[in-house]
Chains A and B, each alone.
Chain A
Amino acid sequence: MKLNAKIPPGPLKDKWDHYCANTRLVSPKNKQKYRVLVVGSGLAGASAAASLAELGFAVSCFCLQDSPRRAHSIAAQGGINAAKNYCNDGDNVYRLFYDTIKGGDFRSREANVYRLAQLSLPIIDHCVAQGIPFARDYGGMLDNRSFGGALVSRTFYARGQTGQQLLLGAYGALSRQIGQGRVDMYTNCEMQDLIVVDGQARGIVVRNLLTGDVDAHTGHAVVLATGGYAPVFYLSTNGLGCNVTASYRAYQRGADFANPCFTQIHPTCIPVSGEGQSKLTLMSESLRNDGRVWVPKEKGVTRQPGSIPQGERDYYLERRYPRYGNLAPRDIASRAAKQVCDEGRGVGDSGRGVYLDFADAIASFGRKTISSRYGNLFEMYERITGEDPYHTPMRIYPAAHYTMGGLWVDYELMSTVPGLFVLGEANFSDHGANRLGASALMQALSDGYFVLPATIGNYLTDLPADDNVQDAPQVKQTRQDVCERLQWISQVGGKRSPTWFHKKLGEIMWNFCGMSRQEKGLKQALSDLSALQEEFWKDVYVPHETGFNPTLDKACRVADFLQFAQIICLDALHREESCGAHFRSEFQTEQGEAARQDAAFSHVALWRFQQDQTAKRYTEELVFEEAQPTERSYK
């Protein structure tokens, strides 16, 4: 099959307009005859479901949680970018485009990223109209801050709960459509498989998590907006329910997986405190605006931080990256933290932590100002660690956070399975090898509010509205496959809980495929993973409950993570370069920075499922016409 990204012709800045002017539309009176199945109710899913219903399509929406409002988008703290240039600091669409491309280390598609930058503008307009209480300045205008290593202030925020407020806006829009009967909402439903009829995505099989019922739903197109897969590392900043199941099943049904090894490790999270811990909590990146990162200069220092004199401290980010200092991009800050800890200079009981110190900021701005900026974060930190960051420096350490990789999509957000669209963090997205802060919310909303509603018509017009596949044999077959799989897992009858396997998986991934990767380690990981997978299918234990059975939910997700982890490692092994968050220690400059290999790897890597369960690698070459790849230096 030939890959076609369907990038419209013309100059970069006109491509989207050109596309919109020429795309085919579904006639208004036919729209309600088309049913679109939207899986996921996060920013991407909820915005898509609501917008499609507003257009008149019949929509069904599915989510794991008991309410669409609980999708993990709710947890985003920092903010959302938009090139409004409200601060008059020289921002514009091009600059946002360029920063995002460069931030992604030149591993994303120009046309998509440019469109994203363009659509950042109406997103903010729409969100404000929905009543999202963004921060305002005293004149009543929207306030902006700089975020995640940008030189301009273009981040819109609602205290430290931007994701929550944006999601509640999208949830409101979705609720309105549900209340008016235009969206059928299915909560507590997990997609277990994709129904493909005659090569087109026509439905999904879901398991109701409360009753255990397995049902098939059919329609004219399927939209996956199921979020990222960071919990493949077990501990991450994601919610416990985040999974790869939906994407992985789509992959097994023919949707290519792009750049799975591009996983982002966030530098400012609360370090692991011990056994039994279930998640890592992000401390917003905004803390780095005022906090200074340091470790002792010498190894093995166990003294209280306060008693370590200035001369014995190493403010390593300020030292290594004088221009950006503590605000260096995520991948760089994370790797630097790992390095100093590997050198034995880490702090805290585990030795895996660095200080984020507010003493200087408190001294110059006063406790009150600092508390008004970060009070809620300090409170959260104290709750979790029992330490007061006003007096002792915070301890932070990187944690798995976001996944740039995802199902491959073309310009229309359609995957390699016709009729299967992928939105938000679930697609391989516009972030290349590294995502800049405050750009995921932007992407999820641009996909859902604006891109999909404009592109889905082009696909649907070719499909007769009365074409109903409800009785197609593939529907029954796929449902059957799911039931059998559930049976298998329940019947293993082993001794270990799914969580035990998940933790083991996390260890392997974190150690060999985390912040720094190496051929030897990746090969080790691959063999460890297949051993672990074998053990899983021999020794996992799931109670024989029919109906409500969270252990079974978990087991299914872990089973998919185990298989999928191997593709991540394969991808990491094959990408013999360092770029963005993917750092292969064999490929670094003399100063220890990532060394990209543009000649060989200026492409998207696609993994295609083969019937013998192996994965085959394809590529989509990346062409840069506007943004010339340069060394990504933040010195």
Chain B
Amino acid sequence: MSVPLSLTLKIWRQPSSEQPGGFVTYEMKGISSALSFLEMLDTLNEQLLAKGEDPIAFESDCREGICGACGLVINGVAHGPWPGCTTCQLHMRAFRSGETIFVEPFRARGFPVVKDLVVDRSALDRTVQQGGYVSVNTGSAPPANAVCVSKQQAEQAFDAAACIGCGACVAACKNASAMLFVGAKVTHLASLPQGHPERKTRVRAMLVQADKEGFGACTNTRECQAVCPKRIDVSVIARLNGEALKSIK
């Protein structure tokens, strides 16, 4: 069932954030359409290693769309052409033989390039560290069923909590805004009674940090939602804004 593909890859290579980068062209032949996109790059890397060349740096870990480590901009779309799908889950069936594929890193000021296609996304972690949690010490929790959470609330919270922290939203946004990411966390916790006590401080602290990290403002262009592998809805951004407004009072 798998078909061999011939492809021209134009891959961004950059030795480090201080040095300039550029595209390098690679011709690939006989690539099985059953491979995933990253396995195709693995294959290319094995070929490069065999020639004694420096393999292409890119990130991945789980390779099943949940850890958020992977992320490439493929033909101008973060995570590539399949909607609701991470780069690691994209399979070569999505491409036709003879096609030219551009591969670039997630670009944003908040995501400096480490090498080639690897970028530093620690800014997202630092944003969470400012308040993307419930402050509960181990041992202090009440019995689990002591607080009711309606099914609807739980579902809403889950929809937002599904974010894998990949940063595709930032990469795709014309303003490199991280509001889908921040909005997802704020919505997740604001939807649950457990998140209420810190509602105001959380949203403010996370917003201040996101600004500090150099992410842009959201102008509601919704590109983030289109590339988000977990299909997080932009309504979380509206929710975030609402929470921010309420926090002034």
Instruction: Determine direct contact between A and B, CB below 8 Å.
Output: yes
Binding site for B on A (CB under 8 A): 47, 50-51, 54, 65-70, 72, 74-75, 84, 86, 122, 124-142, 158-159, 161, 164-165, 168, 171-173, 175-176, 178-179, 187, 210, 239-241, 273-279, 281-282, 349, 380, 383-384, 386, 449-450, 453, 495, 497, 499-500, 541, 543, 545, 548, 550-551
If A66-B59, A449-B138 touch, does A86 touch B154 (CB 8 Å cutoff)? no
8 cross-chain CB contacts under 8 A:
A54-B138, A70-B61, A70-B68, A128-B144, A133-B158, A140-B151, A383-B91, A384-B91
Report whether B67 and A175 are in contact in the complex, using a CB–CB cutoff of 8 Å: no
Give, as a whole number of angstroms, the nearest-CB distance from A63 to chain B.
Answer: 11
Contact pick for B64, options A67, A68, A75, A548, CB 8 Å: A75
If A69-B68, A130-B133 touch, does A278 touch B39 (CB 8 Å cutoff)? yes
Q: Which residues of A contact B141 (CB under 8 A)?
A: 122, 125-126, 128-129
Report whether B49 and A543 are in contact in the complex, using a CB–CB cutoff of 8 Å: yes
If A274-B34, A384-B89 touch, does A165 touch B161 (CB 8 Å cutoff)? yes
Contact pick for A124, options B132, B144, B149, CB 8 Å: B144
The count of A-to-B residue pairs whose CB atoms sit within 8 angstroms is 212
Report whether B145 and A278 are in contact in the complex, using a CB–CB cutoff of 8 Å: no
Q: Which residues of A contact B188 (CB under 8 A)?
A: 131, 133
Other A-B contacts than A67-B121, A176-B133, A543-B54, 8 sampled, CB-CB below 8 A, are A67-B124, A67-B165, A70-B165, A122-B141, A136-B149, A276-B40, A386-B93, A499-B46
Give, as a whole number of angstroms, the nearest-CB distance from A376 to chain B.
Answer: 10
B218 on interface, CB distance cutoff 8 Å: no
Residue of A nearest to B65 (CB): A380
Report whether A54 and B49 are in contact in the complex, using a CB–CB cutoff of 8 Å: no
A67-B167 Cα distance, complex, nearest whole Å = 12
Contact pick for A66, options B46, B54, B62, B122, CB 8 Å: B122
Residue of B nearest to A386 (CB): B93
Q: Which residues of A contact B2 (CB under 8 A)?
A: 273-274
Give, as a whole number of angstroms, the nearest-CB distance from B195 to chain A.
Answer: 5
Give, as a whole number of angstroms, the nearest-CB distance from B139 to chain A.
Answer: 8
Give the interface SS of chain B, mostly helix, strand, loop or mixed.
loop
If A128-B194, A136-B150, A141-B148 touch, does A69 touch B43 (CB 8 Å cutoff)? no
Q: Render B38-73 as a binary contact track against A, CB cut-off 8 A, 1 for contact.
A: 111011001001101011010111111111110000
B20 on interface, CB distance cutoff 8 Å: no
Q: Which residues of A contact B128 (CB under 8 A)?
A: 171-172, 175
Report whether B67 and A239 are in contact in the complex, using a CB–CB cutoff of 8 Å: yes
Report whether A136 and B154 are in contact in the complex, using a CB–CB cutoff of 8 Å: yes
Report whether A450 and B32 are in contact in the complex, using a CB–CB cutoff of 8 Å: no
Contact pick for B134, options A75, A172, A349, CB 8 Å: A172
Q: Name the 7 nearest CB pairs between A and B, nearest first.
A: A172-B133, A140-B148, A179-B129, A129-B141, A133-B157, A133-B158, A125-B141
Residue of A nearest to B141 (CB): A129
Contact pick for B42, options A129, A179, A274, A499, CB 8 Å: A499
Binding site for A on B (CB under 8 A): 1-2, 32, 34-36, 38-40, 42-43, 46, 49-50, 52, 54-55, 57, 59-69, 82, 85, 89, 91, 93, 114-115, 118, 120-122, 124-125, 128-145, 147-151, 154-155, 157-158, 161-162, 164-165, 188-189, 192, 194-195
Report whether A159 and B158 are in contact in the complex, using a CB–CB cutoff of 8 Å: yes
Report whether A178 and B49 are in contact in the complex, using a CB–CB cutoff of 8 Å: no
A550-B154 Cα distance, complex, nearest whole Å = 40
Report whether A278 and B138 are in contact in the complex, using a CB–CB cutoff of 8 Å: no
Residue of B nearest to A137 (CB): B151
Give, as a whole number of angstroms, the nearest-CB distance from B151 to chain A.
Answer: 5
A291-B176 Cα distance, complex, nearest whole Å = 44
Report whether B62 and A380 are in contact in the complex, using a CB–CB cutoff of 8 Å: no
Report whether A65 and B46 are in contact in the complex, using a CB–CB cutoff of 8 Å: no
Give, as a whole number of angstroms, the nearest-CB distance from A402 to chain B.
Answer: 15
A158-B157 Cα distance, complex, nearest whole Å = 11
A137-B148 Cα distance, complex, nearest whole Å = 10
Report whether B133 and A68 are in contact in the complex, using a CB–CB cutoff of 8 Å: no
If A67-B122, A72-B62, A141-B148 touch, does A161 touch B162 (CB 8 Å cutoff)? yes
Q: Which residues of B contact A125 (CB under 8 A)?
A: 141-144
Report whether A450 and B148 are in contact in the complex, using a CB–CB cutoff of 8 Å: no
Report whether B195 and A240 are in contact in the complex, using a CB–CB cutoff of 8 Å: no
Contact pick for A497, options B49, B93, B195, CB 8 Å: B49
Q: Which residues of B contact A453 (CB under 8 A)?
A: 138
If A54-B138, A131-B195, A168-B161 touch, does A276 touch B55 (CB 8 Å cutoff)? no
Q: Which residues of B contact A281 (CB under 8 A)?
A: 63-64
Residue of B nearest to A237 (CB): B64
If A67-B121, A122-B141 touch, does A140 touch B165 (CB 8 Å cutoff)? no
Report whether B54 and A545 are in contact in the complex, using a CB–CB cutoff of 8 Å: yes
If A65-B67, A278-B42, A543-B54 touch, does A75 touch B151 (CB 8 Å cutoff)? no
Report whether A278 and B63 are in contact in the complex, using a CB–CB cutoff of 8 Å: yes
